[in-house]
Structure 1
């Protein structure tokens, strides 16, 4: 690593770091077709290797400069990956200060990286969890996520496809989503309902508003 490429970051700067891996990637019936989809999704949020990296074949780490958007990122990625039969993704969101930004995401460090890594290592059956400097918030959001995952973990490929499209185009009508996916509008409504879309977006909104408020207050 080029030490001169490292950059010390203001200790007040907080980011989100997501550490994750693809579940069942080695037994996927669709080969590695999921890998380009993962890389394409990650590329929307920055450049590799500075902002994100895929490593060990099916693991990844991504730095989200706006922590309040991290859960939206994670839900969207889950929808993208679950569009592939029998695949899922396990993720840990860590929020905190970043001490050093290196030319490679995996070589950067700070509280956000520690929080993400430790939470990821503690994941067992739960496929998505959050660790932040705010313990009361962690307790609430992880309970909400545990409930939301009862539905999210069971998304079918078709439901995941509609959720991914709806998240990518938040202002689109159901008819516009239907036209995009070349399916009847009634199917969009049915699949979003089956996917628990309203409750999941409510959880995301709670996360986003809570994190934004705490960051603004400098907690």
Structure 2
């Protein structure tokens, strides 16, 4: 177990309604594959790769500025798979926590610190009002920033709930920074214009603004904390 006092981003989540899926084993298999792909695609931002626990739960540790982008990459990639199967009830619930870490273990449950506590609280918050179908919560040590993110997370959830398989996949590939729309189209087996249409229909431009806002403020807030304790 590595000792650390640095800031990290912790992404904790689970698959919603996985026990009611037609093939629960396929859900777990797909979850493991997607998490591995996301860890590899975001290698520069990974502190500890994602691991699956308790069947449909997962957790990974990333740099603070990358935490939201990585979380949304997971959601988009899994939604694409669930939509492809026709499993409309399946979704992903995630809590993103940013804070200091006291001890960084090599697997979920073996780490301690503010970031892990906040990430877990985020997941817990999402089950309080199930009728709202909230799927994303971001918690940090900075309460004004947390309050600003609540409506943004809610708007993202509302947007993502209406995505088709192709819209989810196109958005996930764009977050993976696969390059141009031509390249995204090649990976999806469609033309550039069709890839563009999928991204436009998903409202991906708004997702990018959400991520940019988060990245800018997290980096400034973390930098300010480090300077004040330096």
Count of residue pairs the alignment pairs up: 209
32-41 or 148-157, larger mean C-alpha shift: 32-41
* Other-structure match for 1:105: 108
2 CA distance for matches of 1:39 and 1:177?
20
Shift of residue 29, structure 1, vs aligned partner: 4.1
CA contact (8 A) 1:51 1:105 kept: no
CA contact (8 A) 2:12 2:59 kept: yes
* Other-structure match for 2:92: 89
| C-alpha spacing 1:187/1:42, structure 2 compared with 1 (3 Å) | closer
Shift of residue 113, structure 1, vs aligned partner: 0.7
Higher helix share: 2
Q: TM-score, normalised by structure 1?
A: 0.87
* Other-structure match for 1:116: 119
Unaligned runs of 5+ in 2: 128-132
- From 166, 177, 182, give the equivalent of 1:169: 177
CA contact (8 A) 2:32 2:52 kept: no
CA contact (8 A) 1:68 1:211 kept: yes
* Other-structure match for 2:33: 37
Unaligned runs of 5+ in 1: 1-5
Shift of residue 15, structure 1, vs aligned partner: 0.6
Query: 2:17 matched to 1:21?
Result: no
Q: TM-score, normalised by structure 2?
A: 0.83
Shift of residue 106, structure 1, vs aligned partner: 2.0
Query: 2:80 matched to 1:72?
Result: no
Shift of residue 42, structure 1, vs aligned partner: 4.7
CA deviations over 1:122-144 (Å, ceiling 9, x no partner): 11321001010000001111211
SS at the partner of 1:104? coil
Runs of 4+ aligned residues of structure 1 deviating over 4 Å after TM superposition are none
2 CA distance for matches of 1:207 and 1:36?
27
2 CA distance for matches of 1:217 and 1:9?
18
- When the two chains are superposed, the root-mean-square deviation of aligned CA atoms in Å is 2.1
1 CA distance for matches of 2:106 and 2:181?
41
SS at the partner of 1:217? helix
SS at the partner of 2:141? coil
* Other-structure match for 2:50: 52
* Other-structure match for 2:60: 62
Shift of residue 182, structure 1, vs aligned partner: 1.5
CA contact (8 A) 2:7 2:99 kept: yes
CA contact (8 A) 1:42 1:62 kept: no
